Structure 1
Amino acid sequence: MIGALATAGCGANPAPPGPAAASSQRPPAPPSASPSPSRQGIAVPSVAPITPQKQQNIYGDLPVYERQVLWKLEDRTLRQAGANGSLLGSCDQRIDGSAAVTTTCTITFDGLAVPFSVTAGAGGAYAQWRATQTSGPLIRTAVHAAWYRYVSANAPGATGTAMCDARMPERSLVNFSSPFYECWYTADGATVVRSVRLTEAAGVTFA
């Protein structure tokens, strides 16, 4: 992210194949990253899409430059989370535009700390800054909402079978694009499994 002061930016060894006639009647096994064929899941309820709402923090005691950075990082965290929650930011060093600085800024989402490495230049209103991160907030309610939408779009008649990994905590900090949990549904006698991933730009995705 680059910005400026005013406009910042499952498995076990497989069983031997059965007779050809039997195997030809079975659909191909869906891809799965699960280390075990036995998945413990919880049903995903019918949920409406979540539109995160942000309540702006004032940060009145901070320089305008630093406020702009924190506001943009709040927006980014909220987009990745895909859920509503409290937000509060802070930076380890002051960012006021008077001198270049590289520091860590942290946005806390409902008690979950999301760190960013921020490099800000000097130059007052024209100073440029960028923020990088390697991990983000994975929120269970957001995953469930996104999975329900996914199943609704890809197999509308299977929403009643939508499940997600029961191990998924209410909230956690995860590395981008790394599969940690799974969601699945059953359609036409086959179980379709997808890995849950978090991306920097789009938040929750399935692969």
Structure 2
Amino acid sequence: MQTALFAAAIAVDWGVVYATSRRGSWRIHSAEYFAERYELFIIIAIGESLTALGVGAAKLPVSVSLLAVAALGVGAAMAMWWLYFDVVTLVARRRLHEAAGEDRLALAAGAYGVGHFPVVAGIVLTALGIEGVVGHADSGHGLGWFSAGALCGGATLYLAGLLLFGRLAVNVWGPFRLAALVVVAAWTPAAAALPPLAALTGVVVILAVLAAVETWWFAELRHTVRA
């Protein structure tokens, strides 16, 4: 029943809201406020993923493996935060501010109304995978397909959401993010077979390398945008 209700809510969010935004009479009077609400929701989702990490570890005995998983979980959250808030978000907010009338509405309904959903869903799904890693931190067995699918699938969905958001908001695809998406998806079988700590390490390394490469590659653009 919960799944059916959530599916209905998504249908309303994507269907009814999208239809009324394109053909209705409502308008966005403050682009800054509108974009900020979505950005704050990303912060909440990342914060909740850290809460899930703590809840999963609360009843487990403290060990080196558990501490390492916790550190990697925080690292994954930091990488996700950086990839979202670094450059594209600022450009998208500026473009939304400069757009007017139906152009602003179309941008808001597409980039934010649709593009943000896989971003948030990716964060939540990755948190589920990390929680599975926490629960088996000291296990010598492979992580398994369920937790590995949630972990790598969540990171893949998150990157796909960022690509969709970038395409709809600023008309760019982001080749580095596309490459990282392919690598994370390909990491899934290995993550399922490897010990939990190694599986999570691979995902965090991919996200961290992506963040580092984009930080270096877009250094001049970042300086211009933030100035």
Please give the TM-score of this superposition, normalised by the length of structure 2. Answer: 0.27
- Structure with bigger gyration radius: 1
Higher strand share: 1
Higher helix share: 2
Please give the TM-score of this superposition, normalised by the length of structure 1. Answer: 0.29
